[in-house]
Amino acid sequence: MKHYKAYLIDLDGTMYKGNEQIDGATQFIEYLNKHEIPHLFVTNNSTKEPAEVVEKLKAMGVTAKPDEVVTSAIATAEYIAEAHPGASIYMLGGSGLEQALTNHGLVIKNDEFVDYVVIGLDEAVTYEKLATATLGVRNGATFISTNKDVSIPKERGFLPGNGAITSVVSTSTGVQPTFIGKPEPIIMNKAMEILGLDCSEVAMVGDLYDTDILSGINVNMDTIHVQTGVSSLDEVKLKDVPPTYSFKDLNEVIKELEI
């Protein structure tokens, strides 16, 4: 396997499932840190702030820093702030999305008369929240969704993801949102800005073909698929553009890098 100057690494399904660490995750980050190889955690999960992600990783024995975490919430907030500084927002989502939006000078409102409707994963979603979001889009608000993930891996199994929640509003209004997170280039370009490297020098590591692997393919980046989450080896083999590599887990990636 090629040795890269840096790695972009997914979290859910790659480093952990819910609160369960995936075997090889700690060892892989230890290997990168030992060899001083830059890496960023690029996640579609918009519910957590970078510091919270770091605490979760540290609880699993993984060394990380907040500036090594790029969330779809941060990428979403930057995207809106650049296009429309000070815009008003109706949002569904967790504290990570709320904090990112307000940190970028955006104004969160609790009604349908806003500039943007933004949907992130909301584990306390209600019919009323979806109704307000739907009315906002019908009133002409720009429709943004942090990511397309229709399912997310948890300890109980694969649960509804942000894409599933977003589909309620898009189906009701007939309006498709602009997606920010993987596999869209928007979040990947943000990560590459931080690294300051060319895509040919970096690999994307993840479990889910339709987000993690496609995100690398969409920016002409090599991809490393790990068989620890959603997409199986048999599934990725059938794709028109398969991942550059596929491994059972991150332990196997380390073995390849040590050759």
Binding site for Mg(2+): which residues? 10, 12, 207
> Which residues does the annotation mark as catalytic?
10, 12
**The three-state (H, E, C) secondary structure of the chain, written as one string:** CCCCCEEEECCECCCEECCEECCCHHHHHHHHHHCCCCEEEEECCCCCCHHHHHHHHHHCCCCCCHHHEEEHHHHHHHHHHHHCCCCEEEEECCHHHHHHHHHCCCEECCCCCCCEEEECCCCCCCHHHHHHHHHHHHCCCEEEECCCCCEEEECCEEEECHHHHHHHHHHHHCCCCEECCCCCHHHHHHHHHHHCCCHHHEEEEECCHHHHHHHHHCCCCEEEEECCCCCCHHHHHCCCCCCCEEECCHHHHHHHHCC
